[in-house]
Amino acid sequence: MKTTVVLSAIAALGFAGAALAQDEVQFSDIDTNGDAQLSLEEVHAVSPNVSEIEFTAYDADADGSLSEDEYQTWSEYKADQEPETTPEAEMDDRQER
């Protein structure tokens, strides 16, 4: 029983980490207090494995939080790092040529 709970918690954390790189998570979903800035705490709520170093690297104006623009830059970078290209998508590309 206990093992099941721990495993689902791990699965939930893994899912949250992956979700940040995907378009499904909107800026407004992460900005839980609605001030149009993402604090590190708000980012951690959806992606606990984000380091402070990574967070501040995309805080372009160094105000300690990410604006929507800063978050977009970051999520685009993350999307590049974790290609979601499926074999089907590659085949579609070839067929169009």
Q: Which residues bind to Ca ion, rule: CB under 5 A?
A: 31, 33, 35, 37, 59, 61, 63
Q: Which is nearer to Ca ion, 16 or 40 (CB)?
A: 40
- Least distance to Ca ion from the beta carbon of 95, Å? 43
Structure-token pair, residue 30: 């992460």
Residue whose CB is less far from Ca ion, 21 or 31: 31
Minimal distance, residue 56 CB to Ca ion, in Å: 9
Tokens of 73: 């830059």
Query: In the block, which residue shows the tokens 């899912």?
Result: 15
